[in-house]
Amino acid sequence: MPAISVVELHKSYGAVKAVDGVSFEVEDREIFGILGPNGAGKTTTLEIIETLREPDSGEITVGGMDVRKDARAIKELIGVQLQTTVFFDNLTVRETVDLFSSFYRNQVGTESLLELVSLEDKAGSMLDELSGGQHKRVSIALALVNDPRIVFLDEPTTGLDPQARRNIWEIVEQLRDRENTVVITTHYIEEAEYLCDRVAIMDHGRIIAMGSPDELIDRHSPESNISFRLEPLLSADLIAAIPGVSDVRSVNGGYEVTTLVPQETLIGIFKAAYDNGSTADDVSMKRATLEDVFLKITGRRIRQ
């Protein structure tokens, strides 16, 4: 039985089709990402699974239970970090976690939660004394107070600086080690690529591609780009004749080429240089990213 099953989910707000026929399954202990631009329908999808919003139609189960019939039981099974959390500014971090724990039968213990999110030394601080990243970490701790099997994180790193994002990624990796199932939304490509076992790319209320990051790239954007410099420079015609090269672009002092067979092309680059009295240098190869996948499918960048 999958941890989560969503079949043909639809949700409109007036004329806006926020979620327009979405289906996917999340396996037990999987880190599942929903990647998409603002307004794609990520939060709506998540909050319906979390039993916080009503679907218009669709079959949605969590741990085998129906979100419409078993909301109470599902709430015991899941932990939810909302996209925006309202805190009580006159409570300390420890008091806030204690308060949220008191809502549940199942309790983990405040100290171990603060340790998990690396906020032991902020336990006595007031909420309004925390940085943005520390706030997010409190909200993740709150999502874990009932020792949930399935954890939902809605854009946990949006607006954070790179170091604070890394800290959140470390927490997600700890959740993986604890064998939690995690559903995370993001509009950061690197985040989805780095953290997620599988990713659903969402746009305009639909899932437009789904799979592991590697699968998605292999399926939709399998080319690699190789850039290099040549001293002295050789003609573009010579470079275009190198095995596997499907596109050649001039860059400062050299070229960038596109290829489906990077190994053959790399050998060909060095061979062409050698045979023609040139030296290839500063060679670098880049595989496609999920950004390229999104661009291929939609013709747009994820962040515009």
Ligand X SMILES: Nc1ncnc2c1ncn2[C@@H]1O[C@H](COP(=O)(O)OP(=O)(O)O)[C@@H](O)[C@H]1O
Instruction: Report the first-to-last Cα separation within the chain, whole angstroms.
Output: 39
Give, as one character, the DSSP assignment of residue 89. Answer: T
Residue number with CB closer to ligand X (33 or 36): 36
In angstroms, give the least distance from the CB of 105 to ligand X: 31
Residue number with CB closer to Mg ion (42 or 136): 42
Residue number with CB closer to ligand X (67 or 145): 67
Instruction: Out of 3, 22, 42, 117, name the contact with ligand X by CB under 6 A.
Output: 42
81: contact with Mg ion by CB under 5 A: no
Q: Which of 54, 67, 52, 53 is nearest to 6 (CA)?
A: 67
In angstroms, give the least distance from the CB of 47 to ligand X: 8
Instruction: Give the Cα separation of 297 and 285 in Å (integer).
Output: 23
Strand ranges, E, within 187-241: 198-203, 206-211, 224-231
13: contact with ligand X by CB under 6 A: yes
Which residue type, as a one-letter code, is found at position 193?
E
From the list 37-45, 210-218, 228-236, 261-269, the region that binds ligand X by CB under 6 A is 37-45
Rounded-to-10 torsion of CA 293, 297, 298, 299: 80
Instruction: Give the Cα separation of 26 and 32 in Å (integer).
Output: 7
Residues 40, 203: contact at Cβ < 8 Å? Answer: yes
Residue number with CB closer to ligand X (91 or 297): 297
Residues 47, 60: contact at Cβ < 8 Å? Answer: no
In angstroms, give the least distance from the CB of 300 to ligand X: 15
Instruction: Out of 6, 9, 18, 189, name the contact with ligand X by CB under 6 A.
Output: 18
Beta-carbon contacts of residue 23 (< 8 Å; ≥ 6 apart)? 6, 7, 8, 9, 207
262: contact with ligand X by CB under 6 A: no
In angstroms, give the least distance from the CB of 200 to ligand X: 12
Instruction: Out of 26, 31, 41, 288, name the contact with ligand X by CB under 6 A.
Output: 41
Instruction: Give the Cα separation of 299 and 301 in Å (integer).
Output: 7
Residue number with CB closer to ligand X (38 or 263): 38
Helix-helix angle 132-143:93-101, to 10 degrees: 20
44: contact with ligand X by CB under 6 A: yes
Residue number with CB closer to ligand X (18 or 151): 18
182: contact with ligand X by CB under 6 A: no
From the list 31-39, 61-69, 137-145, 269-277, the region that binds ligand X by CB under 6 A is 31-39
Residues 182, 176: contact at Cβ < 8 Å? Answer: yes
Instruction: Give the Cα separation of 155 and 184 in Å (integer).
Output: 7
235 binds, among Mg ion, ligand X, none (CB under 5 to 8 A by kind): none
In angstroms, give the least distance from the CB of 18 to ligand X: 3
Contacts with Mg ion, 30-49, as mask; x by CB under 5 A: ------------xx------
Residue number with CB closer to ligand X (54 or 111): 54
Give, for 111, the enclosing helix (H) or strand (E): helix 110-116
Strand ranges, E, within 14-56: 16-26, 31-35
Residue number with CB closer to ligand X (187 or 220): 187
Q: Which residues bind ligand X (CB under 6 A)?
A: 13, 16, 18, 36, 38-44
